[in-house]
Amino acid sequence: MDRIKRNERLAALTRLLTEAPNRIHTLSHFCEMLGAAKSTLSEDIDILRDVFDTFGLGKLDTVTGAAGGVRFRPHMRREDAMAFLTGLCSDLQSSNRMLPGGFLYLSDILSMPEITRKMGTIIAGEFYDAAPDFVLTMETKGIPVALMTAQSMDVPLVIARRSSKVYEGSAVNINYVSGSAGHIETMSLSRRAVKEGQKCLIVDDFLKAGGTAKGMVDLMSEFNVEVVGTAFVMERAQQGHKLISNAKALMTMDVTEDGELTVKPADWL
């Protein structure tokens, strides 16, 4: 192989790191691939780290130890996240999006990969330190954002269903009380989907009273899995007691007695 120039190495490193987010790559692996010394590659990585930091393109971390290396983590600066969500709230703040039961129509937004990718990046950035082993969501509208979150964290996506499927083998089924409707519903998850002792991040589309989210927390307790966080795209402004606490929603919505809809970025942002 001909000697690879620095600009070529930087382009290759950028692609290799960003297409496998939150995964540790050893310098030895890059040395063999690019035919360069570790000292040279360390300089290249320092250049990329400065560029990523300057333009808010993510975080490039050096991990020490025997299994160490370099890791790219998708990350959005707080001001960029606020600008993105403020623009999104402006688009969502339309009375014709209101649905019966106090919900907001989000299906068109949640079907756009660029939007859900940014949502996943924001959520993942809040839970990297929690190091979940997988992301859990409930079918079906929460799947796109949960998938993008799982991609950013380089962990599997696990989907709880409303009924067990024969092609998933034996399953654990629980009954839970829907917080908004107040009636009993069923949640199912294959026994092979998760392992005892793992850690889980719950991601879903909408939080109203928290019944479904509480059901997922209870489902994880059946598997002896620790829930390290809960995140949502949208949260209904506080109206009475919610069944879960410490949830992080990207946006909050409120409806006045006159029927006026207000959607804004969450206060924690």
Predicted local confidence at residue 99, as pLDDT: 83
Task: Read off the tokens for 124.
Answer: 């993942």
CA dihedral of 207, 211, 216, 217, whole degrees rounded to 10: 100
**Residues of the chain whose pLDDT is less than 50?**
none
Question: What does the pLDDT look like over 74-89, one tens digit per residue?
Answer: 999 999 999 999 999 9
Predicted local confidence at residue 94, as pLDDT: 82
Tokens 């007691």 -> residue? 241
Predicted local confidence at residue 60, as pLDDT: 95
Nearest to 172 by CA among 132, 220, 125, 211: 220
**CA–CA separation, 46 and 69 (whole Å):** 13
Question: What does the pLDDT look like over 173-219, one tens digit per residue?
Answer: 999 887 666 688 899 999 999 999 999 999 999 998 888 999 999 99
Mean pLDDT of all residues belonging to the chain: 91
Tokens 């400065």 -> residue? 50
Predicted local confidence at residue 4, as pLDDT: 87
Predicted local confidence at residue 237, as pLDDT: 83
Cβ atoms within 10 Å, residue 240 = 6
Q: To 10 degrees, what angle do helices 143-153 and 113-127 make?
A: 50
Interior angle at CA 196, CA 227 and CA 143, nearest 5: 50
Predicted local confidence at residue 239, as pLDDT: 63
Q: What is the DSSP string of the chain?
A: -PPPPHHHHHHHHHHHHHTSTT--B-HHHHHHHHT--HHHHHHHHHHHHHHHHHHT--EEEEEPSTT-EEEEE----HHHHHHHHHHHHHHH--GGGEETTTEE--HHHHT-HHHHHHHHHHHHHHHTTT--SEEEEETTTTHHHHHHHHHHHT--EEEEBSS--GGG-SEEEEEEE-TTT-SEEEEEEETTS--TT-EEEEEEEEESS-HHHHHHHHHHHHTT-EEEEEEEEEEEPP-S--SS-S-EEEEEEEE-TT--EEEEE-TT-
Predicted local confidence at residue 1, as pLDDT: 53
Contact by Cβ (8 Å): 187, 161:
yes
Nearest to 148 by CA among 250, 217, 243, 244: 250
Predicted local confidence at residue 136, as pLDDT: 98
Predicted local confidence at residue 180, as pLDDT: 63
